[in-house]
Structure 1
Amino acid sequence: MTTPPARTAILHRMVMQDHVCPWGLKAKDLLRRQGYAVDDRWLTTREETDAFKAEHGVKTTPQTFIDGRRIGGYDDLRRFFGKKVRDPGATSYRPVIMLFAMTALMALAASQAVYGTPITIRAGEWFIAFSMCVLALLKLQDVERFSAMFLNYDLLAKRWVPYGSIYPYAEGLAGVLMVSGALTWLSVPIALVIGGIGAVSVFKAVYIDRRDIKCACVGGDSKVPLGFVSLTENVMMVAMALWMALGAGAMATM
């Protein structure tokens, strides 16, 4: 049997000395994976790109044509092939799921390296401490944006605005100290205070006031809904602080 010839798609995309359009590369890859031969036509200057847009009445490139029909840009091409198109404004739990999965793996790996086995009590402690560090890092990328979102629901930040900017530094400091096991007298009170206030704030906003807002837990551009995940973050901090306080107390009595 002879293999039928591949269908051909014409792709117009920007390929310039100082810029190669990433969406053009994605469109080319998608077409090839769908079994199309690609007639790859480069737009090599801004003038050429502007002229192409004006000719076809479009605002963006790349643009794909199949059987003489303009399909459109990369998202339009995905729709044409029946594939999911990401909604940048949609709520999603993926960021926190991936974050906690990675910090859990980090904790297991650290336990394996130190104790020769991934399953230890210390791995559980490290999981919470690593999570606090990574969550703080995400907030610290843009403290101003985080604090603006945080002010929507945190009870202390509403009364004392600077707390919104202090919070990620405090969370990061407590996390680092808990990883090291040092200065428990400092890390425990910090985690108890910020975790306790956070838990009460989230519970009130979500379960009492029934507000539908985004959580600032993974930074100021979060699409994660405020709710169970946010409450879990704060409860974990409180639980870790109490655990370390009990451990320190037990050591002191020995």
Structure 2
Amino acid sequence: MTEQPAPTPPPASEKRASIYRMVYDSHVCPYGLKALWLLRRAGYVVDDHHLTSREDTDRFKQERGVATTPQIFVDGHKIGGHDDLRAWLGKPLPAKGAVSYRPVLAVFGVAAGLALALSAAVFGDAMTTQAAEWFVAFSMAMLAMLKLQDVETFSSMFVGYDLLARRFVPYAYAYPYLEALAALLMAGRLLPWLSIPIALFIGTIGSVSVIYAVYVQKRSIKCACVGGSGSVPLGFVSLTENLAMVAMALWMLWH
């Protein structure tokens, strides 16, 4: 039997790090896994220390004087937890509540992909008028879905700037359902006598409300367009959403 050669020792200059993270039978710390991945991706050889019980974890925290795990050390120097590691590696997480257009870009990107794929499958051509119609309808449907996840929070944000909702609060609760209904009907061109008036109504009021709040009053507030969890500023995105509903309704009215 041929002997296997001994493993080659790592070079002296190799970057090394240590991580202490919870690995229980019933729970593995997700931040520990992510921190481990970040270190290895950055080229570190990692000494992975598992804290396999609550007692181990509590003892480690007491001995090291830390309040949380995981804890990362590089060349014997304490870096901290997962968020501290990201910052140390030059990849800090966005501040809580920071402005981000990511939710809207995700909606529009997925809606466009679905519309193009469906058009290609049905008509053999992705770039069709029907694809444009589906894009608007799918975008409306997904935005409505985000609002419907937490109607209470959405309505609280919505009444802050929508002109009708400020005078008739029930409209804020009805809005996401109306948007979803119009989107679903428009996607299949069903009951145009119902979908077109709904889209015209909510889209027109929404457009006027955004223009008044942002461009007349010069207010700087969050948009309720992606529901209560987003940090998208009220302005161009919300105005585009509303104008697209109006345009879609007018297009269907004449075609």
Aligned match of 1:62: 70
Q: After TM superposition, give the deviation of residue 16 of structure 1 in Å.
A: 1.2
Aligned residue among 211, 214, 217 for 1:206: 214
- Out of 40-49 and 211-220, give the one that drifted further: 40-49
Aligned match of 1:167: 175
SS at match of 1:19: coil
Give 5+ residue unaligned stretches, structure 2: 1-8
- Out of 113-122 and 48-57, give the one that drifted further: 48-57
Aligned residue among 7, 11, 16 for 1:4: 11
Q: After TM superposition, give the deviation of residue 57 of structure 1 in Å.
A: 2.5
SS at match of 2:221: coil
Whole-Å separation in 1 of the counterparts to 2:228 and 2:180: 16
Aligned residue among 14, 20, 31 for 2:28: 20
Aligned residue among 184, 192, 195 for 1:187: 195
Identity of aligned residues (%): 61
Q: After TM superposition, give the deviation of residue 53 of structure 1 in Å.
A: 2.0
Query: For this pair of structures, how many residues does the alignment match?
Result: 246
Please give the TM-score of this superposition, normalised by the length of structure 1: 0.93
Counterpart of 1:141 in structure 2: which amino acid?
A: Q
Counterpart of 1:113 in structure 2: which amino acid?
A: A
Give 5+ residue unaligned stretches, structure 1: 248-254
Aligned match of 1:196: 204
Aligned residue among 104, 115, 118 for 1:107: 115
Alignment of structure 1 residues 92-131 onto 2, 5 Å: 92-131=100-139
Q: After TM superposition, give the deviation of residue 3 of structure 1 in Å.
A: 6.4
Aligned match of 2:3: none
RMSD (Å), alpha carbons: 1.4
Q: After TM superposition, give the deviation of residue 119 of structure 1 in Å.
A: 0.9
Aligned match of 2:233: 225
Q: After TM superposition, give the deviation of residue 94 of structure 1 in Å.
A: 1.5
Whole-Å separation in 2 of the counterparts to 1:228 and 1:210: 13
Counterpart of 1:210 in structure 2: which amino acid?
A: K
